[in-house]
């Protein structure tokens, strides 16, 4: 197995203005956050399709609509940013066909594994505060997660070699990734209710590792569930509260939320999700009720995914978030230049970047996401242009759909990139 090269350690200094919090955390103390001023503008409240009804870009709209017809998508939302300025934001098709609601750029959608980029940024915020280091070990006496729940189930001492960075790069070595198998886990563990995160911890960590941490990569949602737990342990807040208050709000994102599992759980401006026709559209409910449900509504426990895939938001707000972690000067970053460099450092195509899928300097940065009822792609091109599209319909291609969306972005950039308006809808 190929061993990934590790980046050099980065020494971060603790701000002199940081004040230790009243409670004690086993690792370095977390400074009190600076109180946030009330936001002047909520981005999603300012956006509508009418702002991007531009005759010169009618061809772009036709390309998007053709793509949606090709893949039988009910709706899609697109945002285009250049040099940290939002140039274009538009919805296509239906947000909720049954309710007769057209897609608008202000609608929010499940972003699936794009959530991992948000989680990784949360880890870097904590590192910038000297509250942890990505080189810190996760388990064992000196690990971050060293309480009895973890110590009692881990028998393989190789777990003590796992670092925060290994989790970020999908290099932990876990034997299984069971977050989408609640029913199976319930039966396997003999539970009388759907498994909670602690049950998944006990199940996975009680087995031997598949490979030595850092020696190989195997995509792991479970690893990002552990990162969510690390954020809670170090910050002393719930994962959602910390991310919203210390990551998203400072980035200017005020309408991102942990999504629900059912249609009844949706936010007022959240879309309806649709799964493709064919095998697997209807499944047994994740809680083992025996009821058959559409996979996107009750097939999985979405909130349980936490930092691995539970966030929902608009592509425009995701663009705003990306602007706050990209190292460009136009929008103030929420993480340090060193942290930006760590997140985007590129080794080879076999090594995951931190939060991003890939950060090849020649091809740009990419982050994909897939759930039943959702496909998402964030593509940040080397020239500073970022295209983001989320659909409310999954396709039979599953995670492979991102490849086709990427090709669509490249074609549209070539044809219509020079026709995009010079403006900034963030302001």
Q: State pLDDT tens for residues 15-52.
A: 333 333 333 333 444 444 444 444 456 999 999 999 99
Residue with tokens 């002393």: 236
Q: Are 209 and 174 in contact (CB under 8 A)?
A: yes
Q: How many CB atoms lie within 10 A of CB 11?
A: 8
pLDDT (0 to 100) of residue 415: 98
> Burial of 179 by CB count in 10 Å (0-12 exposed, 13-18 middle, 19+ buried)?
buried
Taking the C-alpha atoms of residue 200 and residue 206, their distance in angstroms, rounded to an integer, is 10
pLDDT tier at 331 (50, 70, 90 boundaries)?
Answer: very high
Q: For residue 13, is pLDDT > 90?
A: no
What is the model's pTM? 0.90
Q: What is the mean pLDDT of residues 221-246?
A: 98
Sign of CA dihedral 201, 205, 206, 211: positive
Taking the C-alpha atoms of residue 262 and residue 110, their distance in angstroms, rounded to an integer, is 12
Q: pLDDT digits over 362-392, tens only?
A: 999 999 999 999 999 999 999 999 999 999 9
Burial 393-421 (b: 16+ CB within 10 A, else e): bbbeeeeebbebbbebbeebbeebbeebe
Coil vs helix vs strand at 302 = helix
Q: What is the mean pLDDT of residues 157-182?
A: 97
> Burial of 345 by CB count in 10 Å (0-12 exposed, 13-18 middle, 19+ buried)?
middle
β-bridge mates for residue 91, sequence order: 77
Q: For residue 4, is pLDDT > 90?
A: no
Q: What is the mean pLDDT of residues 68-79?
A: 98
Q: Are 397 and 70 in contact (CB under 8 A)?
A: no
Q: For residue 94, is pLDDT > 90?
A: yes
* Residue 261 per-residue DSSP state: S
């Amino acid at each position: 197995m190929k061993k990934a090269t590790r980046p050099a350690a980065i020494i971060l200094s603790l701000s002199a203005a940081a004040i230790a919090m009243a409670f004690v955390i086993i690792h370095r103390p977390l400074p009190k956050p600076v109180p946030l001023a009330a936001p002047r503008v909520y981005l999603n409240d300012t956006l509508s399709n009418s702002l991007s009804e531009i005759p010169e870009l009618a061809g772009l709209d036709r390309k998007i609509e053709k793509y949606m017809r090709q893949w039988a998508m009910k709706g899609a939302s697109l945002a285009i940013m250049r040099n940290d300025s939002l140039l274009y934001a538009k919805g296509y098709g239906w947000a909720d066909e049954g309710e007769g609601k057209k897609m608008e750029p202000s609608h929010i959608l499940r972003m699936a594994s794009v959530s991992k980029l948000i989680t990784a940024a949360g880890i870097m915020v904590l590192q910038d505060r000297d509250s942890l280091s990505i080189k810190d070990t996760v388990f064992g006496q000196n690990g971050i997660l060293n309480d009895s729940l973890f110590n009692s189930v881990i028998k393989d001492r190789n777990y003590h070699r796992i670092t925060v960075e290994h989790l970020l790069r999908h290099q932990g070595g876990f034997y299984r990734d069971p977050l989408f198998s609640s029913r199976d886990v319930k039966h396997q563990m003999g539970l009388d209710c759907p498994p909670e995160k602690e049950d998944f911890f006990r199940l996975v960590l009680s087995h031997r590792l598949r490979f030595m941490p850092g020696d190989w990569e195997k995509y792991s949602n479970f690893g990002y569930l552990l990162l969510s737990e690390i954020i809670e342990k170090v910050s002393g807040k719930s994962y959602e509260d910390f991310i919203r208050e210390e990551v998203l709000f400072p980035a200017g994102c005020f309408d991102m939320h942990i999504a629900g599992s059912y249609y009844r759980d949706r936010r007022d401006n959240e879309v309806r999700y649709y799964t493709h026709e064919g095998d697997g559209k209807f499944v047994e409910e994740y809680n083992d009720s025996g009821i058959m449900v559409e996979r996107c509504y009750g097939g999985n426990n979405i909130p349980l995914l936490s930092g691995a895939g539970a966030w929902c938001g608009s592509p425009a707000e995701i663009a705003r978030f990306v602007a706050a972690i990209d190292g460009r000067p136009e929008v103030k970053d929420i993480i340090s230049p060193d942290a930006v460099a760590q997140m985007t450092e590129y080794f080879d195509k076999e090594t995951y970047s931190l939060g991003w899928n890939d950060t090849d300097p020649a091809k740009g940065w990419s982050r994909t996401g897939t759930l039943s009822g959702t496909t998402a792609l964030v593509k940040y091109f080397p020239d500073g242009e970022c295209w983001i599209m989320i659909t409310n319909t999954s396709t039979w291609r599953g995670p492979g759909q991102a490849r086709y969306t990427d090709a669509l972005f490249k074609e549209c950039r070539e044809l219509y990139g020079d026709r995009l308006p010079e403006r900034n809808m963030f302001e």
